[in-house]
Amino acid sequence: MNKMVPNILVVDDSKAILIVMEAILNELGMSETITTCLSATEALDRVKADINYFDVIFTDLNMPEMDGMELMRHLGALNYHGAIIIISEMAHKVINLAANIAKQHNTHLIGNITKPIQLSQVGTLLTKAAQFHCHTLIKESAISKEELIGALNNDEIVPFYQPKVNAYSNKIESVEVLARIVSNKDGRVISPDRFINVAEQHNLINQISFSLFEKATSDFNSMKVELCQGFKLAFNLSSIQLDDLDCPNKLLLILANNKLTPSDIIIEITEQHALSSLAQLETLNRLRMHGFGLSLDDFGVGFTNMNQLKSLPFTEIKIDRSLISHIDTDLFSQVVVTSLINITSEEHLDLVAEGVERPEELIYLKHHRKNLAVQGFLFSHPKPKNEFVRWAKNWIKTANSLIKK
């Protein structure tokens, strides 16, 4: 079996808990190494030895000397980018506060497990940790710079499409462009997790993005004709691409060539790196001033916290799929998502739940928020243009027949 979360660290001042956790993690077999520590000080030393080593840290909240909160703060200061899971019963307010504190320190708290610890609970959270941008997995399977240049030269980077659907009317509100490399030789498909980082590191991301934007905007016109419907096109940009102050002009030029306007487009900012430089903020503002919709992607696990959110010109928030997965039963996600729902309502922002896979998740979300768009495998996987159009025609037909009934 593929080891989804290779290296795990467990910190608890109770020896009994460490033994139970080790036994459960061994039985789950999802990891290669399990390290246990009886104190947060010892745990920090282990992390400092190699900041990229641990993929997940389980930590008790109440420990003598250094407690779990302080440990999270130090992990943030060290730039630890793996996932953190708290081993403790937590009341709603504590979850909310802990999640906010973690975000202030740029750490990724993804949930808590309660005592007595159960195998199924640990398994679910490890799956969530693996879903969450797992740096080690990305590094391991990344393609080489040469392969990426080859794909660019052979024009093998193509758009796939996935809809965002209104949860109440079933209308397709927008269609997200997701990059793929499709081999001209054998049709093999390479997913963006294996090449977007490489493109960013080697300064190839703009070349990829603008060529993809050209293809997608031209597809978009023909899709609207075929589907006899208006919707928006959602396009991903990494935050570092905003450092290029000329980025809005380049997008505008491509739009003009295709007789489209910025109001047709939503730019999704993927937050692998925090939005930080002044240039990034300037570009973001300029895009909004031109009329582009702006979506903050992966909200809940990225770097932007609630306060920053209020001062940035976003029009849409996408809740990360690690918070949507099993939301119908996961109290931690429920509390965090409820506070996101409240803040987006107050700020009049559109809200998208991504990664909806199960009907139970959709039912839960619809019950807790009026006016919501949903995206996920429950509706459609990302597809090449022709397959997407076929899917959308069927979807529209079914949605219309439901309205008539």
Choose the contact partner of 14 out of ligand C2E, Ca ion, none; CB within 5 to 8 A by kind. none
Three-state DSSP state, 51: coil
Cα 131 from Cα 30, distance rounded (Å): 13
Among 7, 107, 217, 270, binds ligand C2E (CB under 6 A): 270
Q: Which of 204, 237, 242, 352 binds ligand C2E (CB under 6 A)?
A: 237
Q: What angle do CA 320, 395, 266 make, to 5 degrees?
A: 45
- Closer CB to Ca ion, 268 or 330, in the complex: 268
> Which member of 12, 219, 264, 297 binds ligand C2E (CB under 6 A)?
297
Binding mask 270-299 for Ca ion (x = CB under 5 A): ---------------------------xx-
Contact 304, 312 (CB under 8 A): yes
262: cis peptide before it, omega within 30°?
A: no
User: Which single residue brings its beta carbon nearest to ligand C2E?
Assistant: 376
Q: Does 304 bind ligand C2E (CB under 6 A)?
A: no
Instruction: Report how far apart, in Å, the C-alpha atoms of 298 and of each of 79, 322, 324, 390 are.
Output: 19, 9, 11, 28
- In this chain, which of 55, 268, 316, 330 binds Ca ion, going by CB under 5 A? 268
Rounded distance between C-alpha atoms, residue 114 and residue 91, angstroms: 11
The candidate with the shortest Cα–Cα distance to 55, out of 110, 120, 124, is 110
Choose from ligand C2E, Ca ion, none: what does 369 bind? Cβ within 5-8 Å by kind: none
3-state helix, strand, coil in the chain (%, to 5): 50, 20, 30
**Minimum CB–partner distance for residue 192 and ligand C2E (Å):** 4
- Minimal CA–CA distance to 132: which of 274, 248, 300, 372? 300
Choosing from 377, 390, 398, 402, the residue that interacts with ligand C2E (CB under 6 A) is: 377
Cβ(6)–Cβ(54) under 8 Å?
Answer: no
Stretch that binds ligand C2E, among 21-29, 31-39, 231-239, 309-317 (CB under 6 A): 231-239
Give the integer Cα–Cα distance in Å for 48 and 86. 20
**Residue of the chain from 6, 76, 82, 355 that contacts ligand C2E (CB under 6 A):** 355
Quick note: the x/- pattern for ligand C2E over 136-165, rule CB under 6 A, is --------------------------x---
* Residue from the set 294, 382, 388, 391 that interacts with ligand C2E by CB under 6 A: 382
DSSP assignment of 143-158 equals PPHHHHHHHHHTT-EE
Q: Give the 3-state secondary structure of residue 391.
A: helix
Build a one-symbol-per-residue string for 305-334: x at contacts with ligand C2E by CB under 6 A, - elsewhere.
----------------x-------------
For residue 350, state whether it binds Ca ion (rule: CB under 5 A).
Answer: no
Of 163-192, which residues contact ligand C2E (CB under 6 A)? 178-179, 191-192
Which residues, 200 to 259, sit near Ca ion by CB under 5 A? 236
